[in-house]
């Protein structure tokens, strides 16, 4: 009986995640409290009451445990493979990295960042690195903190789910000022105009929110190497569009 109840709450949680974008945690709790009253009805022995799916499928669901913010099981991130499109590592809300991926900034990308920073400095602007590599676990902490403050729906517009952050690639950096006003500063304008010369693109451009899944982030740059960054910049497309996966 206990196992059956646990199963029904897992199945319930799955349904919630696929069907709505509001507070999943809240609804899950609601679901839990409803389930908590069920043992009282233990007098009616109906083994098939919880679900119509087979016991094998149920066992799989139990093994998967609770769902991650992406709606996938946490176990998914132990074995998922990184996705490369035309040799470019792609990480977004659809494509994830395994939990263990990455241990720091990519050396080539970091060197390019330093060149960009000194060029900006010579032009009279300061572009300090505000954020570089982030591990899966750190991103998880960040995301949960944002959700606690802003709720799931809002947090999803600006914070990546663990396993889905481009910062975990070691190829992405937040520079200057992590604020929308940064776009209107001299440093922000300089970055938008020159990042590609050093191998970077503004990864989440204005007007592409529906494609990237994120709000405009004038401070978040992604290293692609000068050749490709130049092409993406000239195309006026965001990375998903350029790679043909939008
Ligand atoms: Zn960023």
Q: Quick one: 237 and 130 in the same domain?
A: yes
Residue 76 lies in a domain: no
- Mean local confidence (pLDDT), 86-109: 97
Q: What is the pTM of this model?
A: 0.74
- Mean local confidence (pLDDT), 69-96: 94
* 112: nearest Cα among 222, 193, 219, 188: 222
Q: Quick one: 223 and 101 in the same domain?
A: yes
pLDDT at position 203 over 90? yes
Residue 73 lies in a domain: no
pLDDT at position 171 over 50? yes
- Mean local confidence (pLDDT), 168-194: 98
How far does residue 167's CA lie from ligand 1's centre (Å)?
Answer: 6
Q: Quick one: 104 and 43 in the same domain?
A: no
How far does residue 239's CA lie from ligand 1's centre (Å)?
Answer: 15
Give the whole-angstrom CA distance, residue 33 versus residue 37.
7
Q: Quick one: 148 and 231 in the same domain?
A: yes
Q: Quick one: 96 and 196 in the same domain?
A: yes
Residue 78 lies in a domain: no
Q: How many domains does the chain have?
A: 2
Segment among 34-38, 42-46, 53-57, 201-205 with least mean pLDDT = 34-38
Backbone angles phi and psi of 152, in degrees to 5: -60, -50
How far does residue 91's CA lie from ligand 1's centre (Å)?
Answer: 12
- Mean local confidence (pLDDT), 147-176: 95
Q: Quick one: 91 and 59 in the same domain?
A: no
pLDDT at position 15 over 90? no
- Mean local confidence (pLDDT), 209-217: 95
pLDDT at position 11 over 70? no
CATH code of the domain containing 203: 3.30.1380.10
Residue 169 lies in a domain: yes
**What are the catalytic residues?**
217
Rg (CA), the chain: 22
pLDDT of amino acid 57:
54
Residue 74 lies in a domain: no
Alpha-carbon distances of 180 from 121, 170, 185, 215, 220, rounded to whole Å? 21, 23, 10, 10, 11
**Domain that residue 178 falls in:** 83-243
- Mean local confidence (pLDDT), 235-245: 97
pLDDT of amino acid 10:
40
pLDDT of amino acid 12:
39
Q: Quick one: 139 and 213 in the same domain?
A: yes
pLDDT tier at 30 (50, 70, 90 boundaries)? Answer: very low
Q: Quick one: 101 and 210 in the same domain?
A: yes
């Amino acid at each position: 009986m206990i196992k059956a109840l646990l199963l029904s709450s897992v199945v319930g949680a799955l349904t919630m995640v696929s069907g709505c974008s509001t507070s999943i945690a809240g609804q899950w709790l609601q679901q839990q409290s409803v389930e908590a009253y069920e043992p009282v009805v233990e007098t009616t022995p109906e083994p098939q009451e919880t679900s119509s799916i087979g016991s094998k499928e149920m066992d799989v669901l139990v093994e998967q445990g609770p769902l991650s913010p992406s709606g996938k099981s946490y176990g998914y991130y132990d074995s998922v493979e990184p996705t490369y499109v035309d040799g470019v590592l792609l990480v977004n809300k659809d494509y994830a990295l395994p939990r263990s991926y990455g241990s720091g900034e990519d050396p080539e990308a970091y060197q390019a960042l330093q060149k960009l920073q000194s060029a900006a400095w010579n032009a009279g602007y300061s572009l300090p690195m505000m954020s570089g590599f982030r591990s899966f676990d750190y991103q998880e902490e960040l995301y949960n903190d944002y959700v606690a403050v802003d709720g799931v729906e809002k947090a999803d517009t600006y914070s990546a789910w663990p396993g889905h952050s481009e910062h975990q690639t070691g190829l992405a950096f937040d520079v200057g000022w992590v604020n929308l006003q940064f776009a209107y500063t001299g440093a922000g304008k300089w970055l938008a105009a020159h990042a590609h010369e050093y191998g970077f693109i503004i990864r989440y451009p204005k007007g592409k929110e529906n494609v990237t899944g994120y709000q405009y982030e004038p401070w978040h740059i992604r290293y692609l190497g000068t050749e490709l960054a130049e092409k993406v910049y000239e195309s006026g497309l965001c990375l998903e569009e350029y790679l043909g996966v939008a």
